[in-house]
Homo-oligomer: A and B are copies of this chain.
C-alpha cells in the first residue's frame, strides 16, 4: 500500500492562531525565526527528547510545559544552542522573554525549540537587534512557519485534519540526527478544538508511539526533539475519540513526510514485523532492519539482495525466539524467504525495489506482537550533506 503522506501545503491556521516568521541573522539568508501564538488561553501537551545532552531550549521548555497552558511556540533554525554552557541557558531564556513580549503572552506560556549545529553560541547580537526592530507582523501561514523551521530539510512539512467544527494543523522539521525517542525533532500541532489537558496528553502519547517513535533516519537521536500540541478551544468541544484518531493520523502524516525527506533519501522504507513475542519486541526487531546500513543501501540501489534482511534479523542476538525455521520475509507481496526466489521472482523483486516506497514484511512466526516502523534509504547524498555540515 502506498502512503498518502503528502497531505498538501497548509495555508491557514485553526481559529485563534496566527504566526510570525523573520530572518533573525542565525543563518546567512532566509527566515530562521518563527513564532506561532494563540490569541486566547490554550491547553497543551508536550513530549521531549530523552537525550542526556538535551539543550537549554528543552530544559527551559520542560519547565514551561509543566503548567499545560502554553500559548506560543518559537523556533530558531540552524543553531541548536546545545552544549553551550551557562550562556546557552541565559540565551534561551532571553529569546523566550523577547518572544513573549512580541506575542503579548507570559514568558512561561512560550515553548522554545532550536535545532541545527551543536556546540556553537547563538548569534545574540543579531537576534537582539532583530527583536528590537521588529513590529511583530503575525500574518505567516503554516507553510511559512514550516519553511522557517527547516535546516537540512528539502521540503516544508505541514498537515491538517478536520474533526467536527474543529481543525488540527501540524508543522514539523527534521531530516537527520533522527531517531526520536519519545518525540521527534520538532513537530508542533495546533487546534481550535476544546480538549481537556488530560485528554490532550493521552491523545498525544497515543499518537506519538506508532508515528514519531517508530521513525528512524540514521539511529542518531537529536538533543532537541520536541513534539507539542496546543488546543485553544475556539471551535468548541469535539468527539474525543474522533479527535484522538485525527491527531494520530496527522502525526503519522507528518512522520512519513519526515522519513521521506530523510537526509539524502530517495525512498520511504517501511518495515512491519508480526508474530513477535509482544509489540515491543516486534518494534526492536523492525528497527534493526530499518536501520541496517546494508538493508538501506540495498534499497537505495534497488538491489534484490534480500539476504541482508536475514542478516539484520540474525543480529538481534539479545532477542529470544528468532528462529530461521519459523521466519517468513516478503518485499511488498513477493515472498523471498523461506521460498527461495527464482529468476522471475528476482525480476519482480527488482521492479518492486525501484519504486519510491519499499515495504518489507517479516513474520517471526511464534507470537502475537506486531509493529511497523519507518525509515529511508542510505545514499551518497546523506554522506555529502553530513561530511560538510558546519563549514
Contact = CB atoms under 8 A, between A and B. Distances in A.
A305 interface: yes
B378 A383 contact: yes
Chain A, interface residues (CB within 8 Å), range? 35 or more
A52 B314 contact: yes
A50 interface: yes
A337 B119 contact: yes
Given A293-B386, A303-B391, A387-B303, A221 B340 contact: no
Interface of A: 49-54, 80, 82-85, 117-121, 176-177, 179, 181, 218-223, 291-294, 297-298, 300-301, 303-308, 310-317, 319, 322-324, 336-338, 340, 378-380, 382-384, 386-391
Question: Quick one: which of A306, A311, A384 has the most chain B CB within 10 A?
Answer: A311
A221 B85 CA distance: 38
22 contacts: A50-B317, A51-B311, A52-B316, A52-B317, A52-B324, A54-B314, A80-B307, A83-B307, A83-B324, A85-B340, A119-B306, A120-B307, A220-B315, A222-B311, A297-B386, A297-B387, A303-B388, A303-B390, A304-B390, A305-B390, A379-B387, A380-B384
A294 B176 contact: yes
Contacts of A310: 53, 82-83, 118-119, 223
Given A117-B307, A177-B308, 14 more contacts: A51-B314, A53-B314, A119-B307, A119-B336, A121-B340, A218-B293, A219-B291, A220-B308, A220-B312, A221-B314, A221-B315, A221-B317, A297-B382, A301-B391
